[in-house]
Structure 1
């Protein structure tokens, strides 16, 4: 039965082994072994029975908790489209900041990211025919978990950054009990920008927030099939 075990290991290879995966592997292997025994008891050659059992199951994605079958091309297209919009909005917002010599690097990174994302989107959109109806499995539970982690890290980053920039800008004033003096609107604008620039990074948690919504939107089912 070594061939069966290798086959089971191969179809589970994309998943990190945990309690659920171990139990599923054991269950699938047991079912395949039972199938081989049933086939051989009915007169089939042993090697042919092994081959038949292996051919009977080549995908276990539907067995994994939280896995949803989606129209993967449509999912990717809208994902890229939304990310492109986020990047372009961020790039446009940071143009005035670059004029004030603040956020020049961020503005450049957003521009390059927009171009790369746009190229990927257009190249995927050019594909047509049956490719647009391709299906694959994505784990909704994992996407929800990653979304929660991304937002938690972002909020923590913003809090730490605001405390840091405040300490840099006003630490000595507070320490020596000196009044805070802002010399004119230009200095005020520069100070304000230093606080606002990190908020552009909200694009990152927004990126991870898209997945659960699009998984639900493009899940294979009667509602989506009616739109075909």
Structure 2
């Protein structure tokens, strides 16, 4: 009970939820926009672009983490710009964990959004345009409501993926207790140090959270 009430137990959980929430909100916005943009448009190089967008889903997390270090490291233009703007590097901060979660969760949201928008009837959208609605009104008032089932499912799955991110986060954000230590990295360290009781408590916590989110998706799909 003392362990259950301790800050050592709850700190990774609250940090994981904060990171997954921020990453989820970003992914929902960019994933929805990207899915709508590419749902029905065909252009040269589309297959290559979509393959790049989906790569984080199949690449090993360590490879994703490696690319993030290269892109945001001190030797890159992006990394130097961030260090100049924020007076410090982004690597080994909890914002690095947010970026890693966004990258790995984006493909799930994008694919769900794209599938949902492809199911929306063109006749309904065209009827709204004939009645005088501009593209943004069609998107907000017609396309999104009709694709809401897929969008909600993609949002929940993306949140769950961000919550469970391990490899890229460990490489890019590190495992600093109270600052960048999420539930997955905390479980890894607990097992490595032989603290199976604490590891089990975190495992049960993330299983319960993930089960509830996936059950929500299944219930909505019926």
Superposition TM-score tier, normalisation by shorter sequence: under 0.3
Which is higher, the Rg of structure 1 or of structure 2? 1
- If each structure's strand is expressed as a fraction of its own residues, which one has the higher value? 1
Q: Give the number of the structure with larger relative contact order, counting CA–CA contacts within 8 Å between residues 6 or more apart.
A: 2
Q: Structure 1 length as normaliser, TM-score?
A: 0.25
